[in-house]
Structure 1
Amino acid sequence: MTSKSNKVKKIIEEFTASIEERDMAIEEKEKIIGEQTQKKLHDEAIIQSLQNQIKSLKSNSSNMDDGNIWQLAPLLFELPILILMFP
């Protein structure tokens, strides 16, 4: 009789451990999902900011005369070099 109760206890302990492992895995997944959600929101905010800057530059560029555009030309040539230097 005691061997049966020991077997039952062992089965219950294994089942409990299995449930605890699943709970820990679920908590870890929820944590990762939360982190990814925060990163996505941060990235979306950056994208929105960049889109606003592009709109601002477009509206400002329509107001520029040809002299100001030529002043920006060196920047266009230096930008790829900066990108290569600081990846």
Structure 2
Amino acid sequence: AGDTAVLACRVEDAVLAYLDRCPDCTGSLAGASLTGAVLRCPRCHARFDVVHAGTGIGGTVGHLRPVPVLARDGVLAMAVPAMEASA
């Protein structure tokens, strides 16, 4: 089983997670900026609404791949689909 890179962000009290891959440029989202609920890719500057399932906004066609998150006592657990985990 391989490792799967995930991007987690907090918007107000919600913790949201997505696979670490921009659907527009296929680059990593490491270093992305989060302003309110808008995540901006550091490479191609595509923008995504992290509160609304990673939907592309402002002309961005793609959408981020959500990862279910469970937060319990400050510890995050994520459910990464098997096909993503082995990729």
Q: Same fold (TM over 0.5)?
A: no
TM-score class normalised by the smaller sequence: under 0.3
TM-score of the superposition, structure 2-length normalised? Answer: 0.19
Higher helix share: 1
TM-score of the superposition, structure 1-length normalised? Answer: 0.19
Q: Which has the higher contact order (CA 8 A, sep 6+)?
A: 2
Higher strand share: 2
